[in-house]
A and B are shown apart, each in its own frame.
Chain A
């Protein structure tokens, strides 16, 4: 049975539609920088996302996203105001 939250690299090959060597290469890099964790069990290897290590990346993009959110919320307000005018004209 697959340990909770872990995936075999073969499952990732299926899901991503990439070749086995490509997936292995990506996993190797992600492991090296600590973004995925690996568990070896006999001849199988299971991989899991390392959530806490991803947080700085999430935060980095997150503040940029919030900036755009506020900007586009304001655009939404402008559109809401324009809409009745355009529809009745």
Chain B
């Protein structure tokens, strides 16, 4: 895996009870980051976790338009997210709702989070901030806890990547 020109790693902070803030810098102009974030063919290449395959990757990029991502995980389980674009200011700002379709509540849409994604470019480096605001603190906490499982999966994928790389080198 290419690790040159990396502008550090993502940081996650919890600025308030219902919020998650994800920050990462990219060695690319905002226009390109915006494009990779909003073009289905490109989203398919990075958003998904290692072992899952895409079932749906729809992006209707306009204010009031909707988006939906559905992937199938290794065990066959389908995982879906969808939302609606509230504000689009290409290439610097996207405000959209995000609903986790597997959320164990009667009406997942009522539990939508509001994501504000900002791409700020300086000297060719773009800082991405994704501020996620949940309706309730328990939703925020469940969202964070979901990382436990996928984080585990990701580690296994990394191990596999490493094994393949070592195999090739041998």
Q: Hey, which bits of chain A sit against chain B, CB under 8 A?
A: 60-80, 82-83, 86
Q: Closest residue of chain A to B150, judged by CB? A: A67
B11, A72: Cβ atoms under 8 Å? no
Measured CA separation A12–B74 after assembly (Å): 49
Partner of A74, one of B7, B20, B28, B45: B45
Given that A71-B47, A72-B10, A74-B46 are contacting pairs, would A82 and B146 also be in contact in the complex, using a CB cutoff of 8 Å? no
Q: Which of B6, B37, B143 contacts A73 (CB 8 A)?
A: B6
Chain A residues lying within 8 Å of B143, measured Cβ to Cβ, are: 64
The interface size of chain B toward A, counting residues with CB under 8 Å, comes to 42
Q: Does B162 contact A (CB under 8 A)?
A: no
B12 within 8 A of partner (CB) = yes
Expressed in whole angstroms, the Cα–Cα distance for A43 and B150 within the complex equals 49
Chain A contact surface mostly: helix
CA distance A51 to B14 in the complex (A): 18
Q: What is the minimal beta-carbon distance from B92 to any residue of chain A, in angstroms?
A: 16
- Whole-angstrom CA separation of A80 from B37 in the bound complex: 14
How many A-B contacts at CB < 8 Å in the complex? 96
State whether A65 touches B11 (Cβ < 8 A).
yes
Given A60-B145, A64-B147, A75-B26: A70 in contact with B12 (beta carbons within 8 A):
no
B120 at the interface (CB under 8 A from A): no
With A70-B154, A71-B47 in contact, is A80–B10 under 8 Å at CB? no
Nearest B residue (CB) for A82: B32
Taking CB atoms, residues of chain B closer than 8 Å to A86 are: 31-32
Contact A78:B36 (CB < 8 A) given known A68-B22, A83-B28: yes
Known A61-B144, A63-B148, A74-B45; contact A68-B36, beta-carbon cutoff 8 A: no
| Nearest chain A CB to B44 CB, angstrom units | 10
Residues B24 and A66 in contact, CB atoms below 8 Å apart: no
What are 24 pairs between A and B in contact, CB < 8 Å? A61-B144, A63-B147, A64-B143, A64-B144, A64-B146, A65-B10, A66-B154, A66-B155, A68-B22, A70-B154, A70-B157, A71-B49, A72-B46, A72-B128, A75-B33, A75-B37, A77-B1, A79-B36, A80-B5, A80-B27, A80-B28, A82-B28, A82-B35, A86-B31
